[in-house]
Structure 1
Amino acid sequence: MEDFGARLRRAMTQRGPLCVGIDPHPALLERWGLPDDADGLTRFSQGVVDALADRVAVFKPQSAFFERYGSRGLAVLESIIRQLRDAGSIVLLDVKRGDIGSTVSAYADAYLNPSSPLYVDAVTASPYLGVGSLAPMFDAARAYGGGVFVLALTSNPEGPSVQHARGADGRTVAQTVIDEISQLNAGSRPWGSFGLVVGATIGETGHDLSGVGGPLLAPGLGAQGAGAADLRTVFGPNLSAVLPSYSREVLAGGPDASGLRAAAERVLADCEAILGSGS
């Protein structure tokens, strides 16, 4: 299969640089007039798919909001993954998995092996057992044309206490993660298949993202407080690699398909105005 980095770059060129998170919060279900149960989840998720699947480059379902309904929720997740991929969208499953040995190998099989019912194009992963512990995910991604987005600089207030801590060589933990992902992408064109997660709310990072060679996922836009203009502050000269991610800002436009499409078009236009000016 074609490398994930190339597929992602093409999807963003064809449909625009936008990732829409599918995060069925109870408050969103209520806003849509839906019950907080598996039936409400099904109707909510199907509404997003029907309105946007053929328009948006990347979708990012948050696995936890499906898992909370048990097996019925996972069945909904499996269904929308298939539908989104059939519509030509890239599916990035937000699972933030991280472990060691056979367990991380099992995660890799669960999400990146085409034989799995939860097979997606890419996943998010946590590197805080060491970036090397994620090697089975990286290997599976290479084997099957998938991608892995590794947490580097996150928006939550607790993040800097770990991510900005310095090792013996003087680099922060986050910079070490950035540098190791850069090495994995070395020589790949147009992008490598390994990306980083860098929150859009964090302001000037004080870290060097120039050599990553892969996509930079920017959550935190919209309801979490950041706007498209903040991307310039966070990413500076690296804007051309940024994949902006919105969730509630778009989902709140439902349940009507026209409202969802209008919200997605609005935030995409905002992002294109910033990303185009910095590319």
Structure 2
Amino acid sequence: MKHPEKITEENLTALMEFILLDFAEVPHLQGFLFGLFLIIYIIILISNGTIFLITKLDPALQSPMYFFLGNFSFLEICYVSVTLPRMLTNLWTQRRAISFVACATQMCWILMLGTTECFLLAVMAYDRYVAICNPLHYPLVMNHKVCVQLVAGSWVSGVPVQIGQTFQIFSLPFCGSNLINHFFCDIPPVLKLTCGNTSVNEMIVYIVFLLFVMVPFLLILLSYGKIISTILKLPSTRGQAKAFSTCSSHLIVVALFFGSGIITYLRPKTQDSAGTDKVLSLFYTIIIPLFNPMIYSLRNKDVIMALQKLLWK
């Protein structure tokens, strides 16, 4: 019978850095992928930055809905900047090493910003609920002070828990391989490198996921259940179409973001799940921030008019 090798200090010291494999399996495509992701990153920065700018400068966009949209665009810039610059560096230099501290820092920021996105999407759904279901009370309920408090709460509410979760994961002993088969330091691939039984840690991950992802998602579903019920009671089809148009962009983003995240973290893990996890992670960390400005601008006349005025100036 083979006894498990004792974990020595030398073994742990050897894992003071990790190797992010990202696209290592396609060496002939490194240059193409670098160019592709660089263009995507520039588009994300420009498009989301433009949305953020016009919601701050255009007088026609000084309502709670656009206040939240501006903050959401700024969040998308922060979210994608945690992963894409590192990926671009790896593709350009072919040096995929990331230090223990840098890996922990990246994971912590991803978790905190992901939590913020979940809460902010829930806040945006609540804003639409008040606007459609209680329009007479909307200016009073969603005043500027309340909007600032809701955004601030979205940004800070998950910080202590996610810092604690990251510290707890990186406090585990690491042994064996230091190869992370992923584009960034996400929880599932990092946990695979730890020693011993991680069932307790995985249970904590699921609990945190339920609190910070599923609870906001259920609140969004509840809000839109009320919204749809109210819209269907409107007397004119034109009024129904206008109400649906103000919610459709947000619903598309919610479906894309929560759908990919829930599939990634809640589906059963198998030996062959790493490839699927990588594709899904690309989807919710890069593809969604890329398409968000297009989704909101193409379906919103006020945003299109503000963009035209900005370009005309």
Larger radius of gyration: 2
Structure showing the higher helix proportion among its residues: 2
- Give the TM-score, by structure 1 length: 0.28
Higher RCO structure, 1 or 2 (CA under 8 Å, sep 6+): 2
